[in-house]
Structure 1
């Protein structure tokens, strides 16, 4: 890996649903999230809808999704969620 490779974050958009769905079906990713199983379409759609809802940032449960990308395109996802104790 290039020590100078840049990773940038930008807001998730609806057009990146397929990128997210690919991660949600990849056992290298899902074994670390939720119940360890690939996600069903219903859960994928629910999560994407919630990500695009853009609740006010001071509201409990508000989330913001960011696509992590390098020069070749998307490489990951960062999710920030407002909880009672903080973000």
Structure 2
């Protein structure tokens, strides 16, 4: 089963949230519905980056690694794949 590491943003250069899940589409919908206090408080609802991993352990290690990154590094990662910080929910694999 595929697992995903993802970054949500409030706007380009705005507040960020990093997470991992096995069902990215449902998790993004949960963030948008306000089920996470942090993301609802700061209006973080735009999926700006994600990557697919083969298993839970790999995705969890990658998430923890990204959470330790400096903010500038995360912004560079997002910008390298999504220069204008568009919502990429439609690109989630089925």
Return the index of the structure with the highest Cα Rg.
1
Greater RCO (Cα-Cα under 8 Å, separation 6 or more): 2
TM-score by shorter chain over 0.5 = no
TM value normalised by structure 1: 0.32
TM value normalised by structure 2: 0.30
